[in-house]
Amino acid sequence: MTVSRVVNGESNVREATRDAVQKAMRELQFRPNKAARSLAGAQEIRIGLLYNNPSVAYFTALLLGALDGSSRNAAQLVVDKSEVGDAVAATQAVRTLIKGGINGILLTAPLSERSDLIAELKEQEVSIVGMATSSFTGEITCVGIDDFKAGYDLTKYLIGLGHSRIAFISGHPSHSSSRQRRAGFEAAIKEAGAKVEKPRVAQGDYSYRSGMEAAEELLSGKTAPTAIFASNDDMASGAMSVAHRKGLEVPKDLSVVGFDDTIASSLWPALTTIRQPVGEIAATAINLIAQEVRDRRNDRPVEIQNITVPHLLVERESAVPPRKR
């Protein structure tokens, strides 16, 4: 306890003791860990949440889950945002959180795949959990759904309805979830063989506007798709908006499906989608961080895990068999 008082610069330490501790620190080249020393009492847990997903609905679900997990663990939650694609800003945000005294951090993809960020956090003994099982390398604990399987399942569902012209709107290319969902989509298309035409793919970034722009591209061709698979609900909503503006009735003229189940039930028609329990995943991640912090404090071994949470295909009103022409 006396050592920590010296490290923290407290005044209630005898001068001789202070000199002895400081001399030992110099000889050992001791550098205080910023995350460990920031909070008085040493048993409190301070967790950072760094995200860069442009979907407001996704972030809301993420934040609610993280707050629930933090409350259950009597932990403080500090939230910061990093713009997609801005590596420098992400690094600065991590350093700011470290200076603020975090003991652990929840990283969303693609931040959870940045080896430089992970190395910097580990150097400061900050516990890390990533929200993307597809980016698991064994370096940090990850929790999430199987995006490949979910993309495959939703595509198989559309094929099962009888759709042979299925278009795809991908998410931000830097996100592993986007790549895995597309890979699952392509695997199901390939498996279907001659029953399905070569699909058209448009690039999005998980935002509503990018869904609109992608749908404009997909619906402007000579041969329009009978179904659109958007990689999240925000982009699916944008696609439905464009379809309505073009005089297409969803799902009679065009089936649209999404991913996440964040805003899906509030759309018209209600959106068929993959339910990704974002809040549950975030709460689980916070629990894992808190447990790792406690293990470190008690000199217990830390277990690196890759936890897959089940997804669910939710059938609503936006996807039906294609109209016979």
Residue 210 is assigned to a structural domain of this protein: yes
Q: Are strands 127-131 and 45-51 parallel, antiparallel or unpaired?
A: unpaired
Helix then strand then coil, in percent of the chain rounded to 5, is 45, 15, 35
Give the model's pLDDT for residue 35. Answer: 43
Residue 51 pLDDT? 81
For residue 67, tell me if it sits in a domain: yes
Give the domain range for residue 17: 1-32
Instruction: Determine, yes or no, domain membership for 323.
Output: no
Whether 98 is in a domain gets the answer yes
Q: What's the rounded Cα separation, in Å, for the pair 219 and 205?
A: 18
Phi then psi dihedrals of residue 10, to 5 deg: -75, 155
SS3 readout for 231-278: CCHHHHHHHHHHHHHCCCCCCCCCEEEEEECCCHHHCCCCCEEEECCH
276, 295, 318 — which closes off a domain?
276
Degrees to nearest 5, angle at CA 211 with 206 and 216: 155
Q: How far is CA 279 from CA 13, 63, 108, 262, 309, in A?
A: 46, 7, 13, 10, 11
Do the domain assignments include residue 318?
A: no
Predicted local confidence at residue 40, as pLDDT? 41
Domain annotation covers residue 316 = no
Count of structural domains, the chain: 3
Residue 242: how many other CB atoms lie within 10 Å: 22
Residues 90 and 236 in one domain: no
Q: Can you state the angle between helices 115-123 and 87-99, rounded to 10 degrees? A: 10
Look-up of token digits 């000889």:
27
* Same domain as 286, residue 141: yes
The answer to the question of residue 262 being in a domain is yes
With 0-12 / 13-18 / 19 or more C-beta atoms within 10 angstroms meaning exposed / middle / buried, residue 127 is: buried
Q: Please indicate, yes or no, whether residues 59 and 83 belong to a single structural domain of this protein.
A: yes
**Could you tell me the CATH number of the domain that includes residue 172?**
3.40.50.2300
What is the reported pTM?
0.81
Average pLDDT of adjacent 10-residue blocks, the chain of 325 residues: 42 50 45 45 81 78 91 91 76 90 90 87 92 76 95 98 98 90 98 93 95 97 92 96 96 97 85 95 95 92 91 97 84
- So what's the pLDDT on residue 43? 75
